[in-house]
Copies of this chain bind each other. A is one copy, B any other.
Amino acid sequence: MSVLPAALERLIAELKRLPGIGPKSARRIAFHLLAAPPERAASLGAAASSLHERISRCGVCGNFTEDQPCDLCRNPERRASVICVVEDASDIAVVEKARSFDGRYHVLAGSVFDAGGSPEDDPRVTALMKRVRSGTVAEVIVATNPTHAGEAAAAWIAMLLKPEGVRVTRIGIGVPLGSELAHADSTTMAEALQHRSTL
């Protein structure tokens, strides 16, 4: 016999499936909502339930959006000649926060190797090729993660796009600005050495 009511167990089960939420956090959150005014749980419920109702992928860049194309793709103040390629839509906000990029984006939506096939058959890579071939693109900045998969994707994208006569660049990789070398792990340090530039 479980000590907890079924509706509570059900919410805990749903919360546990979320990234970064373990059994203890899930329990704590569920009890918190139970002790809070019912409006709190209702409003979280409504927000989660309606999430997919109006949001879809931008037909151009793959960003999550309520309009087609998305705000970033429609913005006339952003240059259409530079495309920043990111693995996930959530990475767009990270790049935007740096306030130093005024071009467009292209979301790969996960690793191009996920499906097990060749990256050239990946629909998001194919869509990128198409955008580049439209002729208005001068540079593609590959901002995939500095992981094995991200680096491999970067290499493939460079190989596929270079014959199209477009400049393909990779974001700088190394020791984070403002951090101390003592805190950099060996891989980061190795990357920083390899990606050194002349002063």
Contacts and interface: CB of A to CB of B under 8 A. Distances in A.
Main secondary structure of the interface of A (DSSP, over half): helix
Interface stretch (A40-48, A144-152, A160-168, A177-185): A40-48
Interface of A: 1, 3-8, 10-11, 13-15, 17-21, 25, 27-35, 38, 40-55, 64-66, 71-72, 88-90, 92-93, 96, 109-110
A42 B47 contact: no
B14 A43 contact: yes
Nearest to A89: B31
B71 A7 contact: no
A90 B26 CA distance: 12
A15 B44 contact: yes
